Amino acid sequence: MTTPRIGIYPGTFDPITLGHLDIIRRGAKLVDELIVGVTTNPSKNPMFTPDERMAMVRREVDEQGIDNVRVVGFNALLMKFAEKQGASVIVRGLRAVADFEYEYQMAGMNQQLNDRIETVFLMADVSLQPIASKLVKEIALFGGDIAGFVTPAVRDDVVARVQQQGQLGDY
């Protein structure tokens, strides 16, 4: 009997984008169980609370019909979280060279913390490479259409939040 291979795909998912869902779908094929770790990062100026983001990710994963994914919130050092979950793999998505430089450095630091956990990089689908949650929020806050970057349900969530917070800009 072999030990199940558990992977962690960490992020803030504020909001979850089509790019995130692409990495979740593909990452779930590499492991027996993929844990989407929804973390806090106040420096990213979150639009949604951690609980709202976890519910959003769960809904979107369920909608995709991916059955080996679990969504877990965490507010800790990634490698400590991964150890606690019994993970042997960290899954990271890459969009551009700038992502690689940052992720390469993080992977090296994480390896120093625990060399039993490997980092696996997945290139984002070419059509999804420009998508970033930060940009999605910015477009929405200025009244732009984000339909090409998120699912319809996430679009509705973001539009509702923008209506609550107030749209920016002159137009």
CA distance readout (Å), 50 to 20, 37, 88, 100: 16, 11, 25, 26
The answer to whether the beta carbons of residues 11 and 20 sit under 8 Å apart is yes
Which residue in 26, 58, 95, 161 is the catalytic one? 95
pLDDT at 170: 67
pLDDT in tens, 59-77: 999 999 999 999 999 999 9
pLDDT in tens, 137-166: 999 999 999 999 999 999 999 999 999 987
pLDDT at 171: 58
Active site residue 43: no
Which residue in 53, 133, 137, 155 is the catalytic one? 133
CA 155 remoteness from chain centre: 16
Active site residue 44: yes
pLDDT in tens, 10-53: 999 999 999 999 999 999 999 999 999 999 876 778 999 999 99
